[in-house]
Structure formats: structure tokens, C-alpha cells
Amino acid sequence: MKKYFLFLFSLISFFQGISQEQSEKVVKLIFDEALGSSVAYENLRYLCKETKGRIAGTPQAAAAVEFTRQVLEEMKLDRVFLQEVMVPHWERGNVEYGNISSVLFGSREVPVSALGRSVGTGKEGIFGRVVEVYDFEELEKVGSEKIKGKIVFFNRPLDPTLIQTFSAYGRAANQRTSGPAMAAKYGAIGVLVRSLTHATDNIPHTGVTRYEEGVEKIPAVSISTQGANLLSQWLKKDPDLTFHMITNCRNLPDVMSYNVVGELWGTEYPDEIITIGGHLDAWDTGEGAHDDGAGCIQSIEVLRIFRALGIKPKRTIRAVMFMDEEMGQTGGKKYAELAKINNEKHYTALESDRGAFTPQGFGFGTQGERLEKMIALKKYFLPYGITEFKKGGGGVDIGPLRQFGIPLISYIPDSQRYFYYHHSPKDTFEQVNPRELQMGSAAIAALIYLIDKYDL
């Protein structure tokens, strides 16, 4: 079978003009190779189970760096290297307590999860009355007088009617990322944020928050959606109820960490670089399976597939495990910074950071003829049910490469389940289906193969 592939590829190399039919055959071989292999799935299992807790700056993150470096080394690629990155270092601690006390309803503990980069509450915790708001507009309307000395409770849910769930997330996320800093300006002593999930359950979803320079840093936690619903109901009848929260998370000095890079050198234009990446760090409450172990493993898998099929790209293909997407986005920034310093010639970059679900398509951050040509690649993907080829692409980690004027590509899988798992204890290896993971690996490999072959 292998010999047959090699023979096929010799033929392909021999005839310079590659017909569409031949490309279709290679795309089919890529999907066959991906769907017939369990290597990526087993790599993801290791990453999830053995490096759980890999927030940037932690020993687990170091383990994830070393594991993926070893995987790349064992593949005998043309080059494997690390890029030094200074990353923020935040520790969750071991106490997360939230409790509602009401003279009408009694006392009820509710699950909370400290937000990344949040300060802790101190040993006694934060205790105060609660002001529920929908958004920053309402926060402003309520005003300092009513907020001062209280805990602000941001309770805006994800809109379930938005088919693109990332849009729903995008419209609700600022209450977590900026809510604590905003509330502090009005004199709040702490912040509760409704978990950014479509699920109605008792599991809090964490995520980063960003304090502002010169504004007091107040403790912030996410609260499960059921907890948020209960708190909201009780508040309606008992506005004087109190909330008690205790966390001992803390920010430590920045530490050295790494982006991990593996290269397959190009045969014709080795100095032109195509980047495929995901991020290696992940929230500690889950295993970082969909977010974003999958994207890392798929990036590595693209190189494995190329190797297994004897595909020799014209350009250098890099699989990049970016560090610290969740906390400070320092890995992506450092990658672009080094690209500039080293005068690297970047051709295109693709990011996979939307989970290991059945592929729907790609978004292309480019325009004009280049965009048209990329969208025209759709025809190769129709047999695999991959139909969404559209304008607009990028990603947190590849975003800083935009300065080089190259097309940034988003890998787009089905998004219906993503926010059930995202940043929560439910984001585990068991929630990844091996076929869905590998349909994604194959789709990315096929796209990169075609872009490189047809010089798009």
C-alpha cells in the first residue's frame, strides 16, 4: 500500500502540471490516512491526561512543552526548536467558595471558579450585598452610589438563537474580560460573572479577566448558570441577600516558557513559511481537550500526514504550539516579534482553536483575487461535507502576523457543542470524538497542501 502511494507521488512530481483530478486523489489520500490512524488521538490523550492543569507558567505547561517537543523530535522533522517567551504566572490556589445567604430563602452554596489573573479574596473572603446587572450600560445606570461596597453580578446569558455560537460568546464575553475592572470603578468589592456557556448546569466556566492600570483589583469569580439563575431569582424577592466568596488565587512574577515549533522544509521555497498552530496552555479545571489540545495535535498531525504520504511541500510548513493564549497572549506576540527580528518570510498562517468537531470550512483573512482563489478550493472539500469557505479569518495567536500582510486562515469546525465544554471541567479527552478530530486534521492538511501546490 505504501509503495503504491510512493509510486503515485513520483508520478505527481513527474508531471509538472497537476490536474484537478490528481489533487482530488491526494486530498482523498490525506483523508484516508487521517481517518485510518490513531496517532493523533493517542497524542491528544497523553496531552489531556498527563499535562492537565497546563496554565502558562506552571510545571504542567512545561510538561506539555516537553511532550510535544519529543513528539516532534521523534517524527524526525527537518527542525524542532523552542522559542523563549516570558509568560504571566497565575495560581488558582485551593479554595473556591461561594455562598448565598438570604433571610427569606436560607443559605445555599453555589459553585464558583476564580477568573484567571484575578486576585484572591484573602482568608475571610469577600462578603456583601449583590447588585445584578445585564451589561455595562446597566452598570452605569445603577451608578456608584448603589454599587459602592457591594458585589456586582453580571448575568447576561449567551443568546441561544445565534447559530454561530462564537458570536453568542463574543457578545457576552466582555462581562468576564472587563467586568471586574469596570465594576471596580464604581466601587464594587467583588464580581460574580455568569458562566459563558449554553449549558444550564452547576459547573462554572472560568476564563481570563483583565484589570486596568490605576483601577483597584477586586476579586472575580464565575458562577455556574444554575447558580446564577438561583441568585437572580432570590434577588428579585430578597434584594438584601448577601454573597460570601473566598478564593486564594494569586499572581506571581512572570516566568520563562516556550512556543514549540516543528518544521518540514520546503523543496522549492524553503524560506517561505506556512504556519499551522494551536495553543498549548489550557485552563486547569478541565483537560484542555477541545481548547486547545486538539488544535496543537492537529497541527502536528498535518506534518505526520505529509510525511506518511511522502508529500513534499514547496514551502516550509511549521506546526506551532503557542504558549499562553489564555492569560496574556504572549506566545503569539513573541512568535511575530521573532519573525520580524529574524527577517522571516511568512506565506500564510492557519489557526485551529475552535475545538475538535466535524469540520465545516475555513475563513480567509484576505481579499480580492487571492480570496477568490482560496474560496474556489471548496470544490475539493465537498465530498467530505466541508462547505463553508468564506471571507474573514485570523486567531488570537496568529493575529500578530497580520503586520506582514499575509492571509490569516481560521479553521472552522461545527460550533454547537463548543461552549458546553469551554473553560470548564467538562473539556476532557472523553468529549473528543476521534473521527471528528481527524476530519479536522485532514481538512487542514488538504487545505495547506492545495495552497502550497497552487501558490495561492
Shortest distance, CB of residue 37 to a second copy, whole angstroms?
9
SS3 of 204-248: the string is CCCCECCCCCCCCCCCEEEECHHHHHHHHHHHHHCCCCEEEEEEC
Nearest-angstrom CA–CA distance, 160 and 164: 10
Using the minimum distance from each CB to a second copy, give the nearer residue, 328 or 361: 361
- Shortest approach of a second copy to residue 435 CB, angstroms? 4
Judged by the rule CB under 8 A, the positions of this chain that interact with a second copy are 31-32, 35-36, 38, 160-161, 163, 165, 198, 200, 358, 360, 383-385, 387-388, 414, 416-417, 420, 433-436, 439
Least distance in angstroms from the C-beta of 78 to a second copy: 29
Which C-beta is closer to a second copy: that of 33 or that of 272? 33
CB of 387 to a second copy, least distance (A): 5
Please say if 325 is a catalytic residue. Answer: yes
Rounded least distance, CB 354 to a second copy, Å: 14
Question: b/e for 105-119, b at 16 or more Cβ within 10 A?
Answer: eeeeebbbbbbbbbb
- Specify the residue, 335 or 420, whose C-beta has the smaller distance to a second copy: 420
Selecting among 325, 326, 344, 351, the annotated active-site residue is 325
Q: Give how far Cα 122 sits from Cα of 101, 128, 232, 302, Å.
A: 20, 14, 26, 47
Q: CA–CA distance from 447 to each of 14, 361, 397, 439 (Å)?
A: 22, 10, 19, 12
Which of 335, 418 has the CB closer to a second copy? Answer: 418
Q: Give 29 or 188: the residue with its C-beta nearer to a second copy.
A: 29
Q: What residues form DSSP beta bridges with 284?
A: none
CB atoms within 10 A of CB 59: 10
Distances (CA, A) of 261 to 202, 250, 257, 380: 38, 30, 13, 29
The torsion angles phi and psi of 348, rounded to 5 degrees, stand at -160, 165
Which residue, 19 or 200, has its beta carbon nearer to a second copy?
A: 200
* Rounded least distance, CB 281 to a second copy, Å: 26
Q: What angle do CA 408, 198, 171 make, to 5 degrees?
A: 50
Q: C-beta of 298: minimal distance to a second copy in Å?
A: 15
Q: Which is nearer to a second copy, 269 or 384 (CB)?
A: 384
- Plot region of 213 (φ>0 → left; ψ -120 to 50 → alpha; else → beta): beta
CB 33, min distance to a second copy, A = 9
- Among residues 339 and 445, whose Cβ is nearest to a second copy? 445
Residues designated as active site: 325
